[in-house]
Structure formats: C-alpha cells, structure tokens
C-alpha cells in the first residue's frame, strides 16, 4: 500500500511535518496512534474544522489508531491561535453542553473502528496549581514560548497569562496521550504548528530524546479568489443539520468555482486518483456540465449527513428547477425554501385573489386578478387561471405550507398559521 504521507502530499494536504523520514518509517512499520483535537467553543463543527479531521479519517481508513480529543479542559480557557483579542470565557455548563454535541458529531463521522474519543478535562482538571508549575511550567522556556507565532502575533495587543499557558496545556495533552494511549503523532491546522512542536519538546524532555513523537499540519485553505474557505454570505457552513440544512450543505459544494473544485475533491472526498483525474478532465472539457461539483456535493454530503440526505437535496434541486414542487415533502419544503421570501396565511380555504393580497404577495386585487388571468401564478406547482379558485392550505405538505410562484422564478413560502 502507498505510504499515507505520499497520498496526503498528492492531495495537497500537508503543510509541515516534523522529522518526515522518521515518521515515514514509523508509519510503514506498524499501526500508529495519532490524534486531532478540537475545543468545544460551539455546539457544532463547521467545514473549516472538518479539514484536519478528514486527514484523521484517512489515517483511520489506512488502519492507524485515530484518537479525537474534545478539549473540555483547554476549551474552558481558550486557544489564542488565529485570534487578535482575548476570547470571552464560556460557563462550564456551556462547555459541557458543547462537549456532548461535538462528541455525538464525531461518533457519527468516524464510526466505531480504530477510533477513540477522549476529553482532556478528565486529566487537566486533576492537576493542581503547584503540580502544574513544578511538573510542567519548569520545562517551558518563556523566550521560546514568546517566539511561537501564535503568541508573538498577540504581543502588541496583549495576551493574558491564561491564554499564554494554552500551549503548555496542549503539550500536556500530547504527553498524556503518548503515555496512556501510545499516541505518537498529532495533526492539526497550520495555526497549530507552535502548539504541536511544544508538545513534542515536552515529550522529549520528560521521556528522553529517543521518544518517538511527531507533528503534521494541514495548509490553510484559501479559495481561488483569495477569500477564506468555508464562509458564505450567510456565515459559516455547519455540520449540524439544524444550523445548515443538508440541502444548503449540498448547494454549498455544488456552487464551487471551477478553479477550486479539483482541490476540494482531493481534500474532502475519498475518491481515487483515477476518479479525480477523470473529473478534472471534465472540468477542462465540459465545465458547463459541472459534473465535478455535483460529485463533490454528493460525496461530502453523504459523508456528513448520509446518502438519504444526498437524495433529498437532489430531489429538492430538481423540483425547484422544473417547478414541479408537488413531489416534495413538508420536510423538503422546509429545507429547500428556507431562504426564500416567507409569508403567513390562514388555515382556512380562501379565494386566490384575496389570498394573494392578504399574504402580501400581490399589492392589490387588480394586480392579483391580472396575474391570475395571465397565467403568472402557480400554487403548489399548479398554474391557476381562474380568479374564483379557492386555495385550501390543508390540501398539501401536511397542511404546513403553501408554495406560490409569481412569474418564472419568484417563489414565496406561505407558513400556515
């Protein structure tokens, strides 16, 4: 089997590696324990967080022993990485709620094989202040810590002692996992390099220079237009289906730029080199078909939300494109029309002209009658031409919604009160 580091290089997924030759040999000789961590700063990961965990998943699939660290301890003080100011501390109740939510997400993504989920609160919370200073603080040189990029970038604006000590705590994590779980590799985003190398230094100081400990970071993901990956006009793209619906998630990937799609296929899917090369050729030869984007959307949505979510997203997309919304369920409607103009209507059967004016879709009865007789109005997918037509909100979509369309593309979602 190809060395996994070579596979990651081909995918453009390696930014920096400590002792690449040593790590290559280690990975070839045995099943290696490795970990990636995330702090419970929220109750869901977004797709920016997903990048290093996709790499962890590749190691898991290659037979290595993957560990996910939920930072209940470190998350209670805040990582200064990537921030220009102090993080507002969360209550421990919020931290524990977020821990539970992220643990459930990770179990869904990684399954049960070759995976261990740990929470650093279970060991960091047991270290008293004097033990922390004597056992760990003595081994960290302030000058070295100040030179770490994550700290150096904060010195001008100021950094609290709390956030300054974050790299010590993350180092303690690496040593604990090295000692208790035979974990020898830590992976993370490019901004974690200083924290990861601090952990390796701690292991060498406590266990000897021959102790095998390695680090690997993932490049910062930037789109072809120079903007940050993972952000949309509406904000972050979340893995939690309540925050970003599977349909919105699918659409995010479907709408990627031709210049980025092959890179994302390498990063975010488990397709082979041959499959990706074939899709890359289709981008070059027939970009208007957007086959690569469709495959990307299918693969990532299936990984995060399951195949049923892919089928639902494609069903919604097809119905919106054709206008045949009658095939959709109430749940489909809730997802597919989430960002379309919303109005409210009574649950009582109502004349179409009165209904259009009452919901505000039409400004006047004269305009409503004109649009109806001209065939410009569709209700639940059916074109209505009779001004005497009565709309029965209970007729479709479990009595929850009425879909109105004015003209070719102007949709309105009426919520039945």
Binding-site annotation, residues for L-tyrosine:
35, 166, 170
The DSSP secondary structure of 209-254, one letter per residue, reads TTS--EEEEEPPPB-TTSSBTTEETTEE-BSSTTTS-HHHHHHHHH
pLDDT of res. 75: 85
Q: What mean pLDDT is predicted for residues 368-385? A: 95
Residues ≥6 apart with Cβ < 8 Å to 321: none
Mean pLDDT of the chain: 91
Exposure letters 221-252 (e unless 16+ CB within 10 A, then b): bebeeeeebbeeeeebbbbbbebbbbbbbbbb
CB atoms closer than 10 angstroms to residue 3: 14
Identify whether the C-beta of residue 303 lies closer than 8 Å to the C-beta of residue 111.
Answer: no
CB atoms closer than 10 angstroms to residue 81: 24
Lowest mean pLDDT among 137-141, 220-224, 249-253, 283-287: 220-224
Better pLDDT: 338 or 278 = 278
pLDDT of res. 199: 96
Q: What mean pLDDT is predicted for residues 325-335? A: 91
Domain ranges of the chain: 4-218, 231-322, 342-416
Read off the DSSP letter of residue 64: -
d(CA 117, CA 107): 8
CB atoms closer than 10 angstroms to residue 133: 11
pLDDT of res. 274: 96
Examine domains 4-218 and 342-416 and report if their fold is the same. no
d(CA 406, CA 341): 12
* Farthest-apart Cα atoms in the chain, separation: 87
CA dihedral defined by 391, 395, 397, 400, rounded to 10 degrees?
60
pLDDT of res. 83: 66
Lowest mean pLDDT among 4-8, 161-165, 226-230, 284-288: 226-230
Lowest mean pLDDT among 44-53, 77-86, 257-266, 365-374: 77-86
Q: What mean pLDDT is predicted for residues 243-247? A: 93
Classify domain 231-322 at the CATH superfamily level: Tyrosyl-Transfer RNA Synthetase (1.10.240.10)
Q: What mean pLDDT is predicted for residues 142-163? A: 84
Q: What mean pLDDT is predicted for residues 182-204? A: 94
pLDDT of res. 232: 67
Q: What mean pLDDT is predicted for residues 301-319? A: 94
Is 117's pLDDT higher than 90? yes
Q: Is 308 exposed, middle or buried (0-12, 13-18, 19+ CB in 10 A)?
A: exposed
Is 240's pLDDT higher than 60? yes
Return contacts of 167-170, CB within 8 angstroms, 24+ apart.
167/140, 167/194, 167/195, 167/198, 168/132, 168/136, 168/137, 168/140, 168/198, 169/73, 169/74, 169/77, 169/120, 169/124, 170/37, 170/74, 170/79, 170/195, 170/196, 170/198, 170/199
Question: pTM of the predicted model, to two decimals?
Answer: 0.86
Residues ≥6 apart with Cβ < 8 Å to 142: none
Identify whether the C-beta of residue 374 lies closer than 8 Å to the C-beta of residue 303.
Answer: no
CATH class of residue range 4-218: alpha beta
Percentage of the chain lying above the pLDDT 90 cut: 73
Identify whether the C-beta of residue 305 lies closer than 8 Å to the C-beta of residue 249.
Answer: yes
Binding-site annotation, residues for ATP:
231
| Nearest in space to 109 (alpha carbons), one of 173, 36, 1 | 36
Is 59's pLDDT higher than 90? yes
Q: Is 375 exposed, middle or buried (0-12, 13-18, 19+ CB in 10 A)?
A: exposed
Determine the 3-state secondary structure of 402 from DSSP: strand
Better pLDDT: 3 or 234 = 3
pLDDT digits (tens, 9 = 90+) for 251-272: 999 999 999 999 999 999 999 9
Measure the N-to-C terminal CA separation of the chain; round to a whole number of Å: 60
Residue 216 CA to its chain's centroid (Å): 20
| Nearest in space to 186 (alpha carbons), one of 30, 34, 54 | 34
pLDDT of res. 1: 40
Query: Would you say domain 342-416 falls under CATH 3.10.290.10?
Result: yes
pLDDT digits (tens, 9 = 90+) for 77-93: 877 776 666 777 788 88
Residues in the chain: 417
- For residue 413, the surrounding DSSP H or E stretch is strand 410-416
């Amino acid at each position: 089997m190809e060395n996994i580091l070579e596979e990651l290089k081909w995918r453009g997924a390696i930014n920096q590696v400590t002792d690449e030759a040593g790590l290559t040999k280690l990975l070839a000789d045995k099943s290696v324990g490795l970990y990636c961590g995330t702090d419970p700063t929220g109750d869901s990961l977004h797709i920016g967080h997903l990048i290093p965990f996709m790499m962890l998943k590749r190691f898991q699939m290659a037979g290595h022993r993957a560990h996910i660290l939920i930072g209940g301890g470190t998350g209670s003080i805040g990582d200064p990485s990537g921030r220009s100011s102090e993080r507002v501390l969360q209550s421990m109740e919020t931290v524990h709620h977020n821990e539970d939510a992220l643990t459930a997400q990770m179990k869904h993504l990684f399954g049960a094989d070759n995976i261990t989920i740990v929470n650093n609160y279970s060991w960091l919370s047991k270290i008293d202040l004097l033990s922390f200073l004597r056992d760990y603080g003595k081994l960290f040189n302030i000058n070295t810590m100040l030179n770490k990029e994550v700290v150096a970038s904060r010195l001008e604006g100021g950094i609290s002692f709390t956030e300054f000590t974050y790299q010590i705590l993350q180092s303690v994590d690496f040593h604990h996992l090295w000692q208790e779980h035979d974990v020898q590799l830590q992976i993370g985003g490019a901004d974690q390099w200083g924290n990861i190398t601090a952990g390796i230094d701690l292991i060498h100081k406590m266990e000897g220079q021959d102790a095998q400990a390695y680090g690997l970071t993932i490049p910062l993901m930037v789109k072809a237009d120079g903007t940050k990956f993972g952000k949309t006009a509406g904000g972050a793209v979340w893995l939690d289906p309540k925050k970003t619906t599977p349909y919105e998630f699918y659409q995010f990937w479907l709408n990627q730029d031709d210049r980025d799609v092959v890179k994302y296929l390498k990063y975010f899917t488990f397709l082979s080199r041959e499959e990706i090369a074939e899709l890359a050729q289709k981008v070059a030869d027939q970009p208007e078909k957007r086959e690569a984007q469709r495959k990307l959307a299918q693969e990532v949505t299936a990984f995060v939300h399951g195949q049923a979510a892919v089928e639902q997203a494609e069903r919604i997309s097809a119905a919106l494109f054709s206008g045949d919304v009658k095939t959709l369920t109430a749940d489909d409607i809730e997802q597919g029309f989430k960002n379309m103009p919303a109005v409210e209507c009574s649950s009582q059967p109502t004349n179409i002209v009165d209904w259009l004016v009452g919901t505000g879709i039409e400004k006047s009865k004269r305009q409503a009658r004109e649009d109806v007789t001209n065939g410009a109005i569709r209700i639940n997918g059916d074109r209505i031409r009779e001004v005497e037509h009565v709309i029965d909100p209970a007729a479709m979509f479990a009595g929850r919604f009425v879909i109105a369309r004015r003209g070719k593309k102007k949709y309105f979602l009426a919520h039945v009160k």
